[in-house]
Amino acid sequence: MDNAELAALALDIAREAGALARSGQAGVRIAGTKSSPIDLVTEMDQACEQLIRERLAASRPGDGFLGEESGEAVSDAASDCRWIVDPIDGTVNYVYGLPQWAVSIAAERQGVVVAGAVVAPALEEEYLGVLGQGSWRLAGGDRERLVCSQQTELAQALVATGFGYRRERRVEQGRVISALLPEIRDIRRCGAAAVDLCYVAAGRVDAGFERGLNPWDRAAGGLIATEAGARMGGLSEAPASEAMTLCAPPALYEALDRRLSALGATAPED
């Protein structure tokens, strides 16, 4: 399969998982908690990941897999492909009946994300990206090529962000955002990092950053954003990682990188 075919497969499977999740949103049951008592996992997170894993195994036996709920499986020697999956990004929104949640599926080849799909059923939007070919928003039968914001001024920037579930991290994130907030247009905290990254791609926000994101939060959305002209990485030339994921048009990226670095946005926590 070429990268466009991998993206089409990701989209098909994300649609099926998204439909399953949407059908169960009203009667959602909590299965447990993860990094802290406020970090929820639902039975639907688990059911969707299982469905995605089964569909990928049927279509692409031998590929590797990394999923938020079920962990990692290495690929066969014959495969150069690994799937990176968040079955429901925005679980807290999902539990509260808010619409900003999404199924996120990305394909990586030799460590590079080459295809990604983010399906947000309750928003009735789908996002798709193919390395080197572009990214698109699919909604209401329309397919729109995505181009990120051209904003260069930090003072004019609408910036998406998010917060982790552990208290020590929140204290640090609160310190950083309280310094940054008076210096920008405003923040948005939509509650789903994959959706934030698609919003960067679509120019619905100018930039996004968050400390603590995992590969499954950013793999598909990050490709969709970079294919729309944004840059994604960490601070001071580091790659995107748990320490920091920053995504913005290039000029704004530099301004945010400087400011977040000066604020010690990746400083050690208590």
Q: Within 68-107, which residues bind ligand IPD (CB under 6 A)?
A: 86, 89-91
Residue 69 binds which one of ligand IPD, Ca ion, none, with CB within 5 to 8 A depending on kind? Answer: none
Nearer Cβ to ligand IPD (72/76): 72
Binding mask 130-169 for ligand IPD (x = CB under 6 A): --------------------------------xxx-----
C-beta of 3 vs 91, nearer to ligand IPD? 91
Pick the closer one to Ca ion by CB: 88 or 224. Answer: 88
By the 8 A CB rule, do 79 and 62 touch?
yes
Q: Which is nearer to ligand IPD, 152 or 214 (CB)?
A: 214
d(CA 249, CA 66): 28
Does the protein bind ligand IPD through residue 212 (CB under 6 A)? yes
Give the one residue of 217, 219, 229, 234 binding ligand IPD; rule: CB under 6 A: 217
Interatomic CA distance for residues 52 and 73, integer angstroms: 14
Positions that interact with Ca ion (CB under 5 A): 68, 86, 89
Site residues for ligand IPD, 4-63, by CB under 6 A, read: none
For residue 115, list its beta bridge partners. 107, 130
Residue 185 CB partners (closer than 8 Å, separation 6+): 155, 156, 157, 158, 159, 206
Closer CB to ligand IPD, 3 or 100, in the complex: 100
- Give 63 or 86: the residue with its C-beta nearer to Ca ion: 86
Q: Which does 49 bind (CB under 5 to 8 A by kind): Ca ion, ligand IPD, none?
A: none
Closest by CA position to 147, among listed 207, 203, 220: 203
Q: Give which of Ca ion, ligand IPD, none residue 121 binds (C-beta under 5 to 8 Å, depending on kind).
A: none
Of ligand IPD, Ca ion, none, which one does residue 118 interact with (CB within 5 to 8 Å by kind)? none
Q: Is 126 in the site for ligand IPD (CB under 6 A)?
A: no
Which of 60, 247 has the CB closer to ligand IPD? 247
* Gap between the Cα atoms of 133 and 234, Å rounded: 24
193 binds, among Ca ion, ligand IPD, none (CB under 5 to 8 A by kind): ligand IPD
What amino acid occupies position 75?
S
> What would the x/- binding string for ligand IPD be over residues 169 to 208, using CB under 6 A?
----------------------xxx---------------
> By the criterion CB under 6 A, which residues form the site for ligand IPD?
86, 89-91, 162-164, 191-193, 210, 212-213, 217
